[in-house]
Chain A
Amino acid sequence: MLAREPSSQAGQHSGRVDLVVITGMVAQNSRVLDVGSGDGHLLRLLAETRGVDGRGIEISREGVNHCVAKGLAVIQGDADIDLADYPDDAFDYVILSQTLQATRRPRWVLEQMLRIGRHAVVSFPNFGHWKIRLKLLFRGRMPITENLPETWYETPNIHFCTIRDFVELVRQLDVKMERAVAFNSWGRPVRLNAPWWFWNLFGEQAVFLLSRKT
């Protein structure tokens, strides 16, 4: 899975935007598990602005070190394996920020998130964005963009999806989609009343708040 590099996310305005939106989706004083904590930026933001009791999983030891030095409780581990070890209902929210596309078993990871927590918050880059579609259409090669700068053979992102793909997976999982937000390339939200095809074309990134039906 993808370890958010300690500085790569914070430096990009679009990365910032998704963290702000995620923070807004989390209730005050709740218990949160952040899967792929990186340098602990989001966990700290959640603690400071929402008073959450946060925990994290992070695959890189450097990331764990950064988190521990911030006083955060973060475990070195791999979401594809270690989510299985968490008890049911341990958290109110389980967050997966910009990591879904780097997991080996995205569907299993989502299922685990909604087993461990009542809510899941997922943010990911939309592979259906018009810039990516154009690059693929005209150049015929795997797109390299500002947000997704690695070549196909070096990227940790092995399971790209579009917003519509994700929505379809959510339907299959039979969970409630509480909220969905997409941003365009300038970090502005795509019109809420726009149809899915519009979101899928103009949303560069998406954030979903999911909940168990029962």
Chain B
Amino acid sequence: MSVIRAEFEGAVSRAEAIRREADEPHSKLVRFGPDKPLKLDAGVELTPFQIAYTTHGELNAQKSNAILICHALTGDQYVIGDHPVTGKPGWWETMVGPGRPIDTDHFFVICSNVLGGCMGTTGPASKDPKTGEPYELSLPVLTIRDMVRAQAMLLDHLGIEKLLCVTGGSMGAMQALQWAASYPARVFASLPIAVAARHSAQNIAFHEVGRQSIMADPEWRQGAYYRADTFPRRGLAVARMAAHITYLSDAALHRKFGRQLQDRAALTFGFDADFQVESYLRHQGTIFVERFDANSYLYITRAMDYFDIAADYNGVLANAFRGTKTRFCIISFTSDWLFPTSDARHIVHALNAAGASVSFAEIVTDKGHDAFLLEEPELFDIVRGFLDAAAKSLGIKV
């Protein structure tokens, strides 16, 4: 009885914690008042709004060693260090920190929660100052370009004119690419990992499955679940389960689970989680709903779907980068079928056509799209080499 009660209380306090983080995050926060509205691609202005972010390392006197890390769909600003809601380590501890490839002993790392997120940057769970209630679905639909515009305002606030590098994986890589297209003069180097210049039909399709799953949950209540003090747990969990499959690979799933059974000697002839892979996915769904907002998931997946840089330049991707001085390093993974190497090469060809300075490497791994988050020594080598060379050419000691 007491165990159940403790779990229940844990869940309640965690729900409260998530809701609190949306408006009053643990991390650093900057609020932009009515004098600094954010112009959105939807054609309206968002004001006031706020950005939650973390920084690591020291900004040098010339302000030339700043690296902006952009997080992926379900990431947040807690790139390293304990997460205030889950208590778990940051999402890119393998890559970022003292002595790591993105070395905080040499670089000033900034990571902000994306626009539409739920960890302190304005999103659907944030309080709409006009009503005092969460925005829910009254928040305009957002784009990757909007996210980047907001980040540019954060940099203005921090007094950083030019980034040494902007990097990230997946949706973070979309932002790294969009940064180079939107603000070429502010980006010395762009390092997109597991990237595409537009979201493919297959990827939009997967996102639609996720969104429909959330919206099919009666607890979603047309997005108004905050007021009802409920949450579309099942819908969001299923969305996460489906998405999680796309982040892995057939080979990785086989290596990890095969057809092994979960805590049982034989098939049960029922619909419980007989297989380890089922149990694993259910677990992924369950822990995800404890830290992520369902409406945020709708908004951010939509932003990814709308992403198509070439569309902003008469359908010619190279035109997005004409005359750019930014140096690029693009990285893909052999087993990534969500953002496959062909998508990365498409960008490389466009950058070549634009005469840009571009490097490209394809890393052999069976870990799929999520390889950018995992232990991949080859990835670390090339990131370190690229950043150190960029830093050296700017006279930054590494």
Contacts and interface: CB of A to CB of B under 8 A. Distances in A.
Q: Do A and B come from one complex?
A: yes
Interface of A: 55, 61, 64-77, 85-87, 90
A65 B381 CA distance: 7
Contact of A75 (B353, B359, B382, B392): B359
A69 B387 CA distance: 8
Contacts of A61: 361-364, 378
Max chain B Cβ within 10 angstroms of own Cβ: one of A55, A67, A73, A74: A73
B129 interface: no
B247 interface: no
B303 interface: no
Given A61-B364, A61-B378, A73-B327, A67 B352 contact: no
A82 to B, nearest CB: 8
13 contacts: A55-B358, A65-B382, A69-B382, A69-B384, A69-B388, A69-B389, A70-B389, A71-B390, A74-B360, A76-B360, A85-B352, A86-B352, A86-B353
A85 B349 contact: yes
A-B pairs with lowest CB-CB distance, top 4: A69-B385, A71-B389, A73-B357, A75-B360
Nearest to B318: A87
Given A61-B361, A76-B360, A76-B361, A71 B392 contact: yes
Per DSSP, chain B at the interface is: helix
Interface string B371-392: 0000000100110111011101
Max chain B Cβ within 10 angstroms of own Cβ: one of A65, A71, A85, A87: A71
Max chain A Cβ within 10 angstroms of own Cβ: one of B359, B381, B388: B359
Given A55-B357, A85-B349, A68 B389 contact: yes
Contacts of A66: 385
Nearest to B389: A71
Contact of A69 (B348, B378, B386, B393): B386
A74 B353 contact: no
Contacts of A69: 381-382, 384-386, 388-389
Contacts of A64: 359-361, 382
Contacts of A72: 359
Max chain B Cβ within 10 angstroms of own Cβ: one of A55, A69, A86: A69
Contacts of A90: 352-353, 355
Interface of B: 327-329, 345, 348-349, 352-353, 355, 357-364, 378, 381-382, 384-386, 388-390, 392-393
Nearest to A73: B357
Given A74-B359, A75-B360, A68 B329 contact: yes
A48 to B, nearest CB: 13
Max chain B Cβ within 10 angstroms of own Cβ: one of A55, A67, A74, A75: A75
B106 to A, nearest CB: 15
A72 B328 CA distance: 11
Given A61-B364, A64-B359, A90-B355, A75 B389 contact: no
Contacts of B381: 65, 69
Contacts of B352: 55, 75, 85-87, 90
A80 to B, nearest CB: 15
Given A71-B390, A75-B348, A76-B362, 10 more contacts: A64-B359, A68-B361, A68-B385, A71-B392, A72-B359, A73-B358, A75-B358, A85-B345, A86-B353, A87-B352
A76 B390 CA distance: 19
Nearest to A71: B389
B364 A71 contact: no
B167 to A, nearest CB: 14
A67 B381 CA distance: 12
A44 to B, nearest CB: 11
A138 to B, nearest CB: 44
A73 B358 CA distance: 5
Contacts of A71: 389-390, 392-393
Nearest to B330: A75
A86 B357 CA distance: 13
Contacts of B359: 64, 67-68, 72-75
Contacts of A85: 345, 349, 352
A74 B362 CA distance: 12
Contacts of B329: 68
A87 B48 CA distance: 46
Contacts of B327: 73
B13 to A, nearest CB: 47
B355 to A, nearest CB: 7
Contacts of B392: 71
A66 B357 CA distance: 16
Contacts of B345: 85
Max chain B Cβ within 10 angstroms of own Cβ: one of A55, A61, A68, A86: A68
Contacts of A55: 352, 357-358
A86 B361 CA distance: 17
A65 B360 CA distance: 9
A65 B361 contact: yes
Nearest to A57: B360
A72 B329 CA distance: 10
